[in-house]
Amino acid sequence: MTKTADIIIKNARVLTMDGDKPKAEAIALSGNKVLAVGTASEIEALATASTKIVDAGGATVMPGFNEAHMHIFPGSVSLRQLNLHGVEGFEALKAAMLEYAAANPDEPLLMGFSADYSIIGLNQPVTRHHLDAIIPDRSFMMFAPDHHTAWANTPALEKAGLLHGKDVGVGNEVVMGEDGLASGELREGNAFGPVVALSSTGGREEFGMVSGLDPENVTPEQYALDRAILKTGLEYCATWGITSIQNFDGNHYQLRIMRDLEQSGELPVRVRIPFHIRNFMDVSVLDNAAEWKKEFATDMLRGDFVKVFMDGVLDSHTAYMLDGYGDRPGYTYEPLFTPEAFDTIAIKADGLGLQIAVHAIGSAAIRQTLDGFEAAVKANGKQDLRHRIEHIEVIHPDDIPRFKELGIVASMQPVHYPGGTCFPAEPTTAKIGEDRWAYAYAWRTMKDAGAPVVFASDWPVSPVSPFQCIQDALTRKPWKDGLPDQRFTLEESLEAYTSIGAWVEFAEDRKGKLKPGFLADVVILSHDIESVPADEIMTTVRALTTICDGRITYQAA
């Protein structure tokens, strides 16, 4: 017997992401599956008196976005914090901080995020003295956009026990001033973690990033707060047409909260959370990761891969570079794992059948990661585990073909490109060095070399909007004439946010396309995205309706 539709979306320009049937006029959903995709008359025949009919008004209907790299807990908390994106100059920073402080009189730690490295001035590093001059009597800290550097005022440093400096481990640093006291700049999680712990959340949102461990002695009240914060963040993702997220920090605590939301019917997007192995852990902990893969294994919630940080970021000189920095020749920094340690992790995780995703921004970090994946192939044989490297901001040309040879995914964020819609070109381009510009943020180069390229935002490092990321992928301008054109087409960009995202997480048989039998993950856009000028996508196009697992998870007013 032919099934009938629970939901029909008509008058649509359907982009299916299915090569066998790329476009259609309407789509029918039954339960949590796509029932049919076809012409208006074909789909209309599946309606009954109880079918919900949605008129798309001639706009694009497509698979829900798969946000393939983000940080859901810090992102969710950021919705309660001071957003400093676009704030320039001391006076503008002062106005924003004072307004936020007045509106949050009971917050033990005032926190801002997305503060540009040059927020005070291009050649004027932020210090605690700048922040003290604005708020001298309450603890304040603000994150750089990349969340790898933060700046704290004196009260925050004192309360966190950092004012006189502290050894915070390899790859982390409490930057000291000429007066022998902390300057206020804190590089990487071990350095700013003690300050975050002063906040009303106790810094629990950073545990998955900083340590990969669970917070201890969480009270029922704290758990309820964290659950509510995460639920709000997940619902916010749904407002952008997102139906799947692949998280890039993780611990068992986050998975338990997500399972609680799933079992109560409150999970509005599909969630994938990794086991985060840090350099102080023994490789034997990967046996726990294998258990997580069994414990969390539904279409709504999975814990089935391993995350590794190999280095930091360019702007704080914590990315691990082969040939030094453009503004610091010969300075390469250091990796968070020795080559031997990472090889051991890669071989063990690969042998357990676990996908590995590695944050590697600098050229040396990327090479060391590829070497580790190659060691895993030699030890275990080549397997279809779709290991990933995240960001790939500066790569040596010799390493580009290795992605195809080893079957490695290039997970990249067009919105991170310096000089695009989100971040200024300087000082990042100077740190890269002009001789390496051709191999920086090289999405098209990677794709043309045969690497599967998947897109994402890295929220809250940059806004979660898929439309902003897509616009940057379509409109990127080179830093100088003669550099390779790294732009994607609209079709390629949408694939990188849907079908390729599903393939990367081994779900290509059930999501990422609008195809009969696939999961009913759909977004109705506000416009026909194919007719919107490329440089207007982020300001024009929005999600009007988001459907995840056959349920409407967002409906614009």
DSSP string, 141-210: EEE-TTSSEEEE-HHHHHHHT-TT-----TT-EEEEPTTSSEEEEEESHHHHHHHHTTSTTTTGGGHHHH
Given a cut of 50, is residue 76 above it in pLDDT? Answer: yes
**11 within 8 A of 43, measured Cβ to Cβ:** no
Asked if residue 360 has pLDDT above 90, the reply is: yes
E-assigned strand segments in 396-550: 409-412, 453-455, 522-525, 543-548
The string of DSSP letters for 344-405 reads: HHHHHHHHTT-EEEEEE-SHHHHHHHHHHHHHHHHHH-------EEEE--B--GGGHHHHHH
| Residue 315 token pair | 């702007």
Reported pTM: 0.93
**How far apart, in whole angstroms, are the C-alpha atoms of residue 430 and residue 302?**
40
Give the C-alpha separation, 201 to 305, whole Å. Answer: 27
pLDDT given for residue 189 in this prediction:
86
Task: Return the bridge partners of 391, or none.
Answer: 360
Summarize pLDDT for 243-283 with one digit per residue, the tens: 999 999 999 999 999 999 999 999 999 999 999 999 999 99
Q: What are phi and psi of 501, to 5 degrees?
A: -60, -40
- Residue 1 has a pLDDT of 45
Phi and psi, residue 36, nearest 5°: -160, 155
What's residue 134's pLDDT?
97
CATH topology of domain 310-454+469-484: TIM Barrel (3.20.20)
Tell the CATH superfamily of the 7-63+516-555 domain: Urease, subunit C, domain 1 (2.30.40.10)
Helix then strand then coil, % of the chain, to nearest 5 = 35, 20, 45
What are the tens digits of pLDDT across the range 190-237? 899 999 999 999 999 999 998 999 999 999 999 999 999 999 999 999
Domain ranges of the chain: 7-63+516-555, 75-208, 310-454+469-484
pLDDT at 145 over 90: no
> In the chain, how long is the greatest CA-to-CA distance?
80
Mean pLDDT, the chain, rounded, equals 96
Which residues, 6 or more positions from 221, have their beta carbon under 8 angstroms from its beta carbon? none
Length of the chain, in residues: 557
Q: For residues 382-401, give the mean pLDDT.
A: 98
Same fold, 75-208 and 310-454+469-484: no
Q: What are phi and psi of 223, to 5 degrees?
A: -60, -45
- 75-208 under CATH 3.10.310.70, yes or no: yes
